[in-house]
Amino acid sequence: MSFRLRVLGLVTLVAVSATAATAWLTLRQATRQITESASADRAELDRVTEQVEAYGVHHGTWEGVRNLVMELHNQTGQRIHLVSESGVVLVDTDVERGRSSRPLGGLSAPIDPRPPLDLPAGTADPTGTTIEMIRSYRSGILFAACLTRYGINVTITGHRFGVPQFAAGPVEDIWSQEAAVECRDRAANDPVVASRDSRLTACGAEPQHDRRQLCLARAFTSYVSDVAPVPVQVYVGPRDDSTSVLAAAPLLAAAAGVAAVAIIGTAVLSRRVLRPIDKLTTASRRLGHGDLTSRVPVQGNDELAELARSFNRMADSLQRGEERQRRLVADVAHELRTPLANLRGYLEALKDGVIPPDPELFSSLHEEAVLQQRIVDDLQDLALAEAGALAYHRSTVDLAELLETCRVAHAALADSAGVGLTVLAESVAVQADPDRLRQVVGNLITNAVRATPSGGGVTLRANRIGALAVVQVVDTGSGIAPESLPHVFDRFWRADSARGRRTGGSGLGLAITRQIVTDHGGTIEVTSQVGTGTTFTFSLPGG
């Protein structure tokens, strides 16, 4: 499976799982909140029903219930609608607050303020007791309703067989006392059942106690219905969808939309990521097949752009290395072709007897062979150094002593060229391979003596600058042109192209010198002025 498909599949799985989990949690939380809200609404309905029913039972009339309903509305924040069985609206909080009536809510409960007659088993005269309770309740409820209309408090002093007993609350002023007396007189004039009529007689004739009790209770309700408050229906809250379970379809649609966006975004992102990778793969494949000119375009500053830059730098390095290798082969072939041709020519001439063998000829041929051996040795040293395989045996080296040793070793060469060789050095210790450092200084001295005319001088200096040990080889020779300075350390480069192998060396000494200094953790540089002289300076970490 391709990387693109793996990334797309992984991100799709994550997106779908996360979206599904979010949708499930949202649905569960919303459903729970709706259930809790419905339970709270039901509790508020029970509270409203209980207090409204208590008002009807206590006052014997629905007059004045508006104040209670509005108080409950303010407490619960719900719309309350109170309507009788016949459809007469007693109270509607929407109307009371001056707003248009909304559709009735789904929460409602019936309220019947009429008390149920509860005759215990073993009542001596159930029919007579029922007639007595009818008279008591009718007079009591009429009395309570009258007191309510006059604004006098009504109290329930107790219950007999489930029927409340009413009395006037404390009255302090004469007007209230007179009103209470008037209410009692009106209640006493109620035309109630005076004797056992046919319905009560029929109930009394029931042989079974339970059926007789039920019949008498129904008869009680029938006789008091014309004076008791009418049954009503109470509605709480406007009709809406708050009590229904949250629909899953919109959540699933939203989840699918989020998943689709995640998948599309992943596809676009993978294309943005994989397109540069595809180009990089193609370029690396061409590079592997030998096309060192292969490069990838760089866009932006992100990680992919940095990867492309790194690839291009690697390709540039490989191309430069390939070019250096070809140049090296060409230079070696050039350097060895002429002397080998000379050796072959002389040997063939000796073989054919064209020239006579003599010591001078053999000495010249030996010198030519030694020169070629030196070139091969220098190439081997340079190859080992660049590969990091050149062996170093480090120890503490005093640079002043090392420069003096080099001066003595090259004194004969300097004297034969008429060049003065002096040392101006302070004692500076470094951790280095003394043989390799002598090779470095020897190469610099040899080049300086060759570049300095007779009567000139070469000075060797060593001192400490901060944490670095600095060595300088200064000559008063012809100098190096500015355009040639960048090529001083190149293989087979010579400042004077007219110099031959015998007078100009192999052309590898400075390249080897730079590599040895670099392997010691140091740096080397050159400054020069034409006609004045040249200074080679290399720095090493102090010991």
**Burial bucket for residue 99 (CB in 10 Å: 0-12, 13-18, 19+):** exposed
What is the per-residue pLDDT across 369-378, written as a single tens digit (0 to 9) for each?
A: 877 777 777 7
Judge whether 130 lies within some domain: yes
Work out the pLDDT band at 220, boundaries 50, 70, 90.
confident
Judge whether 365 lies within some domain: no
Residue 386, Cβ neighbours under 10 Å: how many?
15
The winner for highest mean pLDDT among 146-160, 194-208, 254-268 is 146-160
Work out the pLDDT band at 5, boundaries 50, 70, 90.
low
pLDDT of residue 34: 62
DSSP helix/strand/coil, 192: coil
What is the per-residue pLDDT across 35-44, written as a single tens digit (0 to 9) for each?
A: 666 666 788 8
Judge whether 255 lies within some domain: no
CATH number of domain containing 482: 3.30.565.10
Helix (H) or strand (E) holding 449: helix 434-451
pLDDT of residue 364: 78
pLDDT of residue 396: 94
Domain C-terminal end among 169, 196, 228: 228
Work out the pLDDT band at 395, boundaries 50, 70, 90.
very high
User: Rounded CA gap, 35 and 27, in Å?
Assistant: 12
Work out the pLDDT band at 358, boundaries 50, 70, 90.
confident
Mean predicted lDDT score pLDDT of the chain: 82
Domain C-terminal end among 210, 228, 246: 228
Q: Which domain holds residue 445?
A: 391-541
Residue 274 token pair: 């994989």
- The mean pLDDT value for 81-109 works out to 87
Judge whether 483 lies within some domain: yes
User: Rounded CA gap, 101 and 177, in Å?
Assistant: 42
pLDDT greater at residue 171 or residue 45? 45
pLDDT greater at residue 534 or residue 42? 534
Q: Is the pLDDT of residue 392 over 80?
A: yes
The winner for highest mean pLDDT among 39-43, 134-138, 177-181 is 134-138
Domain C-terminal end among 228, 245, 261: 228
What is the per-residue pLDDT across 6-23, written as a single tens digit (0 to 9) for each?
A: 666 767 777 777 777 777
Work out the pLDDT band at 448, boundaries 50, 70, 90.
very high
With a pLDDT cut of 90, the percent of the chain lying above it is 26
Judge whether 414 lies within some domain: yes
3-state secondary structure labels for all residues of 212-231: HHHHHHHHHHHHHCCCCCCC
pLDDT of residue 242: 45
The winner for highest mean pLDDT among 14-23, 138-147, 314-323, 409-418 is 409-418
pLDDT of residue 499: 44
Judge whether 432 lies within some domain: yes
Q: Is the pLDDT of residue 423 over 70?
A: yes
Judge whether 424 lies within some domain: yes
pLDDT of residue 502: 45
Backbone angles phi, psi at 495, to 5 degrees: -65, -35
Residue type present at position 264: I
Query: C-alpha angle with apex 447: 445 to 448, nearest 5 degrees?
Result: 60
* Among 269-283, 287-301, 460-474, the least confident range: 269-283
- The mean pLDDT value for 404-421 works out to 93
Yes or no: say if 491 and 508 are a contact pair by the CB < 8 Å rule.
yes
Residue 478 token pair: 């012809």
pLDDT of residue 205: 66
Q: How many domains does the chain have?
A: 2
What is the per-residue pLDDT across 301-354, written as a single tens digit (0 to 9) for each?
A: 877 788 888 888 888 888 877 777 777 677 677 667 767 887 888 888 888 888
